[in-house]
Structure 1
Amino acid sequence: MNEHTYSVDVEWSSPAGTADYRSYPREHRLSSAAEMSIDASADPQFRGDPALWNPEQLLVAAAANCHMLSYLALCARRGVVVVDYVDAAVGTMVETPGAGGRFTSIDLRPRVVLAPGSDAELALALHHEAAEQCYIAASLSCPVTHAPQIVPG
């Protein structure tokens, strides 16, 4: 068994601090040693900046990104040539009074365009295999569903 460790730094600062729930800033920075930093905030419904990524979007993005990378790797190994991949992923989070909230589903809707001669049936089947190999989806407590559209070349 291999073990991988991922380190991320989260930085937040405010001269006024968290003296007032309504006014403390939600903007912060996510960074890692070698990567560009990401300016982030809370969801706008939680007084965040709508122009910045929020944790909920990053979770959905991680699930969609992991599935895509697993899928593309499988396609490359199995001779299915993908020339375009676009996903309009949607995550649903439900708040429960007094108990916080949780994601109840993440729905992936990839539109995959194949090169001429690639096997569309195999391309579709590989989405199921990619779902089983995605580390992020396997780590989540909510279901991650897939509704792929395959466009033959």
Structure 2
Amino acid sequence: MPKTHTYELCVTWTGAGDTGTTSYRAYSRAHEITATGPAPLPGSADPSFRGDPERWNPEQLLVTSLAQCHMLWYLSLCANAGIVVTAYTDNPRGTMTETADGGGHFTEVVLRPEVTVAGQEMTDRATALHEAAHKLCFIARSVNFPVRHEPVIRIQHV
């Protein structure tokens, strides 16, 4: 029987000010994301949509979720395969296209992990495990746009 996981959190709009939504320009897009355990996450809209550039926006969080999920699966697969990863950094890029009706959608996300492994003999398998991580990632399996990866594998210099 499959396991089911539930994720509960709270999104609270904090940008009502004195006038609320009396007009499109009258209110702040500021909000706070909370859940039991982690510190609150300050959120807003993308600056293109009158958001605060000092706060996380939903589009960034979607791209972040994909990168985090891939990384966590990848590290697990490497550990189980005897590949020693000593560093991992990703600079993912998500592309969203606005539509004529004012909405939009993501057209792709490209993960660009830079991985350092302990030895030369690990590089081929370390590269191949990115595909396995992609196939297992819960978030990548849940979106309706392509998620590609362009990994770079480096060898740790001692």
Category of TM-score, reference length = shorter chain: over 0.9
2:143 is the alignment partner of 1:148: no
Partner of 1:66: 69
Q: TM-score under structure 2 normalisation?
A: 0.94
Task: State how far apart, in whole Å, the 2-side matches of 1:84 and 1:118 are.
Answer: 17
Structure 1 residue 34: Cα displacement: 1.4
Contact 2:19–2:26 (Cα < 8 Å) also in 1: no
- Assess if the C-alpha contact under 8 Å between 1:81 and 1:118 holds in 2: no
Identity, in percent, stands at 47
Q: One-letter code of the match for 1:132?
A: K
TM-fit CA distance, 1:57: 0.2
Structure 2 counterpart of 1:92: 95
CA RMSD of aligned residues (A): 1.1
- 2:12 is aligned to 11
> After the TM superposition, which parts of structure 1 deviate over 6 Å for at least 4 consecutive aligned residues?
none
Counterpart amino acid of 1:61? T
1:48-86 CA distance string (max 9 Å, x none): 001111000000000000000000000001000001101
Quote how far apart the aligned CAs of 1:152 are. 1.9
1:11–1:28 CA contact under 8 A, matched in 2: yes
Cα deviations by residue, 1:98-138 (Å, 9 ceiling, x for unpaired)? 15100000000000001136510000000000000000000
The one-letter code matched in structure 1 to 2:51 is G
Deviates more, 1:99-108 or 1:52-61: 99-108
CA contact under 8 A between 2:42 and 2:56: conserved in structure 1? yes
> Corresponding residue for 1:77?
80
The aligned amino acid for 1:138 is R
Q: TM-score, normalised by structure 1?
A: 0.97
CA distance in 1, matches of 2:136, 2:89: 19
Stretches of structure 2 lacking an aligned partner (at least 5 in a row)? none
